[in-house]
A and B are shown apart, each in its own frame.
Chain A
Amino acid sequence: MAMGVLAGLLGALLGLGGGVFLVPFLVVVQGLPFRQAAGISLMTVIATSSAVSARSAGKQLINLRLGMLLEVGTTIGGLFGGLTAQALSQRALTALFAIVTALIALVMLLRLDKRNVIPDGSDPGRLGGRLHDPETGREVVYRVKRLPLALLVSFAAGNVSGLLGLGGGILKVPALVSWCGVPMRAAAATSALMIGVTAVATAPIYYAHGDIVPPLAAAAVLGVLAGSRVGLRLAARLHVRRLKVLMIVVLGLVSALMFARLG
C-alpha cells in the first residue's frame, strides 16, 4: 500500500496516473511477474480516472464529445493490447516498457521549454469546446484539428495501456495539445476521463487470467487514491519546469531499471 501511496503521489505530482511508477515498483521491489504488475496498475488507472473525473466534471474542462469519440480508438487499442500482452513473454514486455518510458522521457526533454499556445477562434465547430481560463478570467474557445491523427494516437495510447498497464495519457495529452489545438487543461481532463474506460477494455482479460491479485490490487488502489490527493495539492505549489525536470529524471531512472532487468 505504501508503494501505491508513493506511486499515486508521484503520479499526481507529475500529472500522470501512477502506473508508470507502480508497474516498475511492483516488478523490481515486489518481484511480481510483469503481467500481474500491469493488471494491478490497470485497476489503479480506473480508480484515479473515475476519482479525478468525478471532481472535474461540470467545470467546463472535460470535452465530452471529443472524449467519447477518441474512446472508440483507445478502447479498441486497449483490447488489442490486452490480448497481445497475454501472448508476449515477460522479457518482451519489460523491454517494451523500458523503451516506451525512455521515449517519453526524450520527448519531454525536447519539449521542456515549449509553452502551449491557446488558439484564438470563435467557432468551436462540432468537436471543439469552451473553457474558462482562470489566468485571464475569460472564456477560451478552441477548435479540434487533425481528428484522424488524434484517433490514431488514441489507438496507440490504448494499445500501450493494454500492453503495459499504463493509462496512456502521457501519449495522448502532448499529441492533443501540440497537434490538435486542444488547450492543456482540457486535454488533461479529457484524457483523465478516457483512461478509465480504456483500462476497462483490458482489465477483464487480465482478471480472467488471474493476473489481478485481489488483496494486492486493493492495497494499490487505496494507496494510489490517497497518494494522488496529496500529490495534486503539492503539485499546485511547485514550479512547472521543476516538475517536468523531476519527471524526466524519474522516467529515465525507471527506464534504466527496466533495461537492467533484461541484462
Chain B
Amino acid sequence: MTGPDVLAVQRREDEAFARVEDLLGVMLGIGVAISTALLAAGLGLWMLAGPTRAALLLLRIGLLALMATPLVRVLVSFAEYLRFRDWFFAAMTAGVLLVLVASVLIALSH
C-alpha cells in the first residue's frame, strides 16, 4: 500500500482534495449562516409576538437546516471520493451516511 504509485496517486488526490476542502468549508459556512438567520428571525418573532405558528415554523426549519449542514458535508465528500475512485473512503463515508439515515428513520418512526 506504500508503493510509489499509491503515494503519487495519493498526493494528486491530496491536491485535488484541498479544493474540495475549501468547498466543504464554504458549504458549512453557508449552512450556519442560513440556520442562524432562520433561528434569529424565529426567536425575534417569538419574543415580539409570542409563540405564533410562523415563529415556530421558522425555528423548526432553522433547527433542521442546522442538522442538515454536516449531513450535506458528508454527502458531498462521498460524491467526491466516488469521483476520485477512492473506494475505501467512499465506503467509509457511505457508512457514516447509513448511520445518519438510520438515526433519521428511527426518529421518524417514533
Asked if A and B are interacting partners, one says yes
Question: Residues on A close to B: CB < 8 A?
Answer: 43, 46-47, 49-51, 53-58, 60, 62, 64-65, 68-69, 71-72, 75-76, 78-79, 82-83, 123, 125-126, 196-197, 199-205, 207-209, 212, 214-215, 217-219, 221-222, 225
Asked whether B8 is an interface residue with its Cβ less than 8 Å from the other chain, the reply is no
Minimal beta-carbon separation of A126 from chain B (angstroms): 6
- Residues B99 and A76 in contact, CB atoms below 8 Å apart: yes
Contact of B106 among A43, A58, A83 (CB under 8 A): A83
Minimal beta-carbon separation of A207 from chain B (angstroms): 6
Question: Residues on B close to A: CB < 8 A?
Answer: 1-2, 6-7, 10, 17-18, 20-22, 24-26, 28-29, 31-32, 35-36, 39-40, 42-43, 46, 51, 55-56, 59-60, 62-63, 66-67, 69-71, 73-74, 77, 89, 92-93, 95-96, 99-100, 102-104, 106-108, 110
Question: A217–B35 Cα gap in the complex (Å)?
Answer: 12
- In the complex formed, the residue of B with least CB distance to A215 is B46
Can you spell out 12 A-B residue pairs with CB atoms less than 8 angstroms apart? Answer: A50-B66, A50-B69, A54-B29, A55-B25, A57-B28, A68-B89, A75-B100, A83-B106, A126-B2, A197-B74, A218-B40, A221-B39
Contact of B25 among A58, A126, A208 (CB under 8 A): A58
- In the complex formed, the residue of A with least CB distance to B40 is A222
Question: A13–B37 Cα gap in the complex (Å)?
Answer: 25
Minimal beta-carbon separation of A209 from chain B (angstroms): 7
- Residues A197 and B39 in contact, CB atoms below 8 Å apart: no
What B residues does A51 contact at CB under 8 A? 28-29, 32
- Residues A200 and B60 in contact, CB atoms below 8 Å apart: no
Contact of A221 among B21, B31, B36, B102 (CB under 8 A): B36
- Residues A204 and B2 in contact, CB atoms below 8 Å apart: no
What A residues does B20 contact at CB under 8 A? 64
What B residues does A202 contact at CB under 8 A? 103
- Residues A214 and B110 in contact, CB atoms below 8 Å apart: no
Contact of A68 among B22, B60, B96 (CB under 8 A): B96
What B residues does A58 contact at CB under 8 A? 18, 21-22, 25
- Assuming the A-B contacts A53-B25, A75-B96, are A208 and B36 also in contact, with contact meaning beta carbons closer than 8 angstroms in the complex? no
- Assuming the A-B contacts A54-B26, A79-B102, are A125 and B2 also in contact, with contact meaning beta carbons closer than 8 angstroms in the complex? yes
Question: A75–B35 Cα gap in the complex (Å)?
Answer: 22
- Assuming the A-B contacts A75-B96, A201-B99, A217-B63, are A64 and B71 also in contact, with contact meaning beta carbons closer than 8 angstroms in the complex? no
Minimal beta-carbon separation of B47 from chain A (angstroms): 8
Question: A241–B104 Cα gap in the complex (Å)?
Answer: 42
Contact of A208 among B22, B24, B55, B108 (CB under 8 A): B108
Minimal beta-carbon separation of A6 from chain B (angstroms): 18
Question: A217–B32 Cα gap in the complex (Å)?
Answer: 14
Question: A64–B63 Cα gap in the complex (Å)?
Answer: 26
What A residues does B62 contact at CB under 8 A? 218
Minimal beta-carbon separation of B60 from chain A (angstroms): 6
